[in-house]
DNA sequence: TTGAAGCTGTCAAATTCGTTACAGTGGCGG
DNA sequence: CCGCCACTGTAACGAATTTGACAGCTTCAA
């Protein structure tokens, strides 16, 4: 074991080789990182079972990383863990998520987690469920829109909802296209609007017109709440602060994904049929190329 | 191991029994405390040699402490160390422990957090920094692309990078548009591609062509790693699992935001000037309406 | 001084572990 | 469609570990 390691940790070596790992080896990597490095400090049999691969696969990974055998691999893990435990300074690095002043990735992750947990407290579950009910109702048409930045999130939600149900359309960000989209908005339709800080100045006009035509407006906004809220039937306020010049849209995207998942669950039989049909059509598309 | 102890650690039990330990057992205790608990996580032979006693003495100590045998004793040590290691990270789970498996919002948030912390372990900080350096280099042109789903993330990144620096373009998802975009890709350009599971079948062609023209490819993918990796100079593997029919793009978006923030920091003076200019132009746009 | 009790190490049996060889499987290119 | 190659798991072997039995040693008291 002393043959090959310089100062590189097993984790680093894994990352370096990540691209050339096979499926079984990647399973092992995931299992190891899930509880690093303790997961690797058990017998080869147990480690293999934990990752749901065979014992020789573990051995192959160890050799690929440059170790003589499994014991060498394990000793390397032990050595680095031992070093970390004895060195109180390095202790902080281990919990990188807690070290707020190290790498920007960690600072950002910290902010993202805080935004997420903060948003969960802000959001009313009943409002969320009510929105899901609206979006899962196949008799309604759904229209999605966002501002200059949030349009990417709206588009993401549109793509996923389109796979789950019919009659989903994305409203372009450019106001000059709005009239022709307003034409197709009718009574009982649902409009989901994303509007966060630096609220779009034109969107209230659009929302007001849509409302006059009988549409129900769902608003996803930040904790300071867009002025659109007075036009909306449901409003989800989210935390979006980031250590950056711009706000973070991670939580809005999170809400979008959660909505999709909930909508799919709410109408599973129809959705399943639709997704299967979609798969078939995709195959055709692929063959036709 | 599960037989006797509840929450007592091995160290505590040793201290309790300290008075009734024999000479050999005390040697073992000293050796264990000298490097607790790592000293006990080796084979019984090695542990005995370290403490200069015989192997059966180790076994006798383990039994005296109430363990079935040496493996039980060792597993107890592993378990407490593992708990200790995970604790600071697991503290994020506390909020979700309020309602662990009830509402889909909580389940999704749980998954998002796990993906985030898992991704932080997978990602090599140096690779991230190298990518930032590439993106912050204003002499290079930047091109961004994604698949059917990830194009929303690519578009998000494009919008933000465009605010921070010149020469940023978004490659459309439709392959028929690619030739005209390839035309403008030259030596030293940077291509950032998002490619996660259900990897886009056409993207390798595009990437290969771009590479031939001298561009450097940066890949943001999932933990199973897109085949594009062999064409890329830097690859960021992320965890993207979600309790849903589709994968989660929260972490890719997180990376996009972190990249933007880091790029802005890396070239603050120029970026600041650019953003101010942008503000001025936005005002004009607003007045002109 | 002697015997007994308890502690410790040596040794060997049984089990588990780590490793190698080999065969089956699936994907890819011709 | 076929053959090749890479990957994965099964099975068997050898090595190491764990454990129990036994004998030597020390210590203490009679």
pLDDT band at A118 (very low <50, low <70, confident <90, very high): confident
Distance from CA of B110 to the nearest CA of A (A): 10
Residues of chain A with C-beta less than 8 angstroms from the C-beta of B160: 149, 246
Is the shortest CB-to-strand distance from B249 to strand C under 7 Å?
no
pTM equals 0.72
Mean pLDDT of A23-30: 86
Looking at residue B285, what is its pLDDT? 60
Tell me the average pLDDT of chain B.
84
Q: Residue A265: pLDDT above 60?
A: yes
Å between CA of B29 and C1' of D22: 26
Using CA atoms of B239, B245, B249, B251 in order, give the dihedral in degrees to the nearest 10. Answer: -30
What are the pLDDT digits (tens) for B75-133?
998 888 887 766 443 433 333 334 445 788 888 888 888 888 878 878 888 889 999 99
Looking at residue B101, what is its pLDDT? 52
* Residues 113-172 of chain B whose Cβ lies under 8 A from any Cβ of chain A: 113, 116-118, 120-125, 128, 148-149, 152-153, 155-156, 159-160, 163
Please name the residue that has the structure tokens 């966002």: A146
Nucleotides of D under 7 A from a protein CB: 6-11, 16-21
Closest CA to A255 of B248, B92, B241, B27: B248
- DSSP string computed for B37-100: TGGGGS-HHHHHHHHTS-HHHHHHHHHHTT-SSHHHHHHHHHHHHHHHHHHHHHTTHHHHHTSS
Residue of A109 and A132 predicted with greater confidence = A132
Residues A261, B242: C-beta atoms closer than 8 Å: yes
Q: Best of B83, B112, B232 to disrupt the A interface by mutation (most A CBs within 10 Å)?
A: B112
Instruction: Dig out the tokens for B276 from the structure.
Output: 């101010």
Q: Which residue of A has its CA nearest to B89?
A: A95
* Residues 7-66 of chain A whose Cβ lies under 8 A from any Cβ of chain B: 11-12, 15-16, 18-19, 21, 23, 26, 29-30, 33-36, 38, 41-42
Q: Residue B24: pLDDT above 50?
A: yes
Q: Best of A41, A50, A82 to disrupt the B interface by mutation (most B CBs within 10 Å)?
A: A41
Task: Work out the end-to-end distance of chain A between its first and last CA atoms, rounded to an integer number of angstroms.
Answer: 52
pLDDT band at B193 (very low <50, low <70, confident <90, very high): very high
What are the pLDDT digits (tens) for A196-254?
988 888 899 999 999 999 999 999 998 778 888 888 999 898 888 888 888 999 999 99
């Amino acid at each position: 074991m002393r043959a090959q390691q310089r100062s590189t940790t097993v984790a680093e070596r894994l990352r370096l080789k990540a691209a050339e790992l096979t499926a079984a080896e990647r399973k092992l990597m995931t299992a190891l990182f899930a509880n690093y490095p303790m997961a690797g400090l058990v017998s080869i049999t147990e480690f293999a079972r934990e990752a749901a691969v065979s014992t020789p696969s573990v051995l192959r990974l160890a050799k690929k990383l440059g170790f003589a055998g499994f014991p060498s691999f394990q000793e390397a893990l032990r050595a680095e863990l031992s070093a970390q435990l004895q060195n109180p300074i390095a202790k902080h690095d281990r919990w990188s998520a807690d070290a707020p002043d190290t790498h920007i990735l960690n600072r950002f992750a910290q902010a993202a987690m805080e935004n997420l947990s903060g948003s969960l407290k802000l959001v009313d579950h009943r409002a969320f469920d009510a929105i899901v009910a609206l979006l899962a109702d196949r008799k309604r048409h759904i229209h999605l829109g966002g501002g200059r930045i949030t349009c990417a999130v709206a588009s993401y939600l549109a793509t996923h909802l389109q796979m789950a149900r019919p009659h989903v359309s994305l409203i372009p960000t450019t106001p000059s296209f709005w009239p022709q989209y307003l034409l197709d908005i009718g009574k009982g339709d649902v409009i989901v609007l994303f509007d966060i800080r630096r609220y779009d100045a034109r969107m209230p006009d659009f929302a007001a017109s849509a409302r006059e035509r009988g549409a129900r407006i769902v608003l996803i906004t930040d904790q300071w709440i867009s002025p659109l809220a007075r036009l909306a039937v449901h409003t989800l306020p989210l935390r979006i602060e980031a250590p950056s010049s711009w706000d973070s849209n991670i939580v809005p995207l999170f809400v979008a994904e959660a909505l999709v998942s909930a909508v799919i669950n709410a109408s599973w039989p129809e959705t399943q049929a639709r997704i299967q049909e979609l798969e078939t059509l995709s195959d055709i598309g692929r063959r036709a190329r």
